[in-house]
Amino acid sequence: MNQEHIASAFDRDLEGIQARIMKMGGLVEQAILDSAQALETRDQELADKVRANDKTIDELEDLLNEEAARVIALRAPTAVDLRVILSVMRISANLERIGDLAKNLAKRNAVLMTMPAISGASSQLRRMSRDVQIMLKDALDAYIQRDDALARDVIERDIDVDQMYNTLFREFLTFMLEDPRNITPCMHLHFIAKNVERMGDHVTSVAEQVVFLVTGEKPDEPRKKEDVTSSDAGLSASS
């Protein structure tokens, strides 16, 4: 088999892998939006759909890992080509985790439906989720276009998600102090907000993989976390 044929076969393999990544990313984007909408509209049917569709996301990750392992074994990629395969595997792992977090949001829907609504919380969580979904779309676009500038922009925007989480956290504390009956629903809503914030962290990891793929290096400095509760062991345990 000549080198030209090997290169052509590798390119076809990569095209197939990239198509799976984009399909997986699209499903994860939809899961983020649907889980937040189900929460806001108290739509249990939509929440159940998010939970059911998570299995498809998991299956796609398994297929991507199998395909990547096959390509490494058959094509023996080196240098840049190997970096592409490793990045794909790391991106798919982060996408799978975001899907799991969206499923966790959907699981809380049935519980929250039995409790009084906390004014404004669901709409703010939906807005926060929408920002994370747009970040993910841009991170995936950056991957396809090999655009490290766009990827770095996504990394910077995670600060906004952290700040939205901090604002919600303080609002939930206020609601709980005002009325003890708000404690249980606010604890569930805090769990949801923390999960959305963690989605942003995984999207940031996807963007960092794009920077690594394009430049061969991770971003220069560790990203500053704006989540004021992340260092509080007690709050971390409660979430």
**Can you list the domains of the chain with their CATH numbers?**
3-238 (1.20.58.220)
How much is the average pLDDT of 51-77? 91
How much is the average pLDDT of 52-78? 90
Per-residue model confidence as pLDDT tens digits over 169-179? 999 999 999 99
Confidence (pLDDT) at 108: 93
Average confidence score pLDDT of the chain: 88
Per-residue model confidence as pLDDT tens digits over 134-193? 999 999 999 999 999 999 999 999 999 999 999 999 999 999 999 999 999 999 999 999
Tell whether the model's pLDDT for residue 232 goes beyond 90: no
On whether the CB atoms of residues 106 and 48 are closer than 8 A, the answer is yes
Confidence (pLDDT) at 151: 97
Position 238 confidence tier, pLDDT thresholds 50, 70, 90: very low
Residues 6 or more apart whose CB falls under 8 angstroms from that of 168 comprise: 121, 124, 125, 128, 189, 190, 193
Q: How far apart are the first and last CA of the chain?
A: 55
What DSSP string describes 6-73? HHHHHHHHHHHHHHHHHHHHHHHHHHHHHHHHHHHHT-HHHHHHHHHHHHHHHHHHHHHHHHHHHHHH
pTM (whole model) above 0.85:
yes
Nearest to 42 by CA among 123, 121, 112: 112
Query: How far apart (Å, rounded) are the C-alpha atoms in residues 100 and 50?
Result: 10
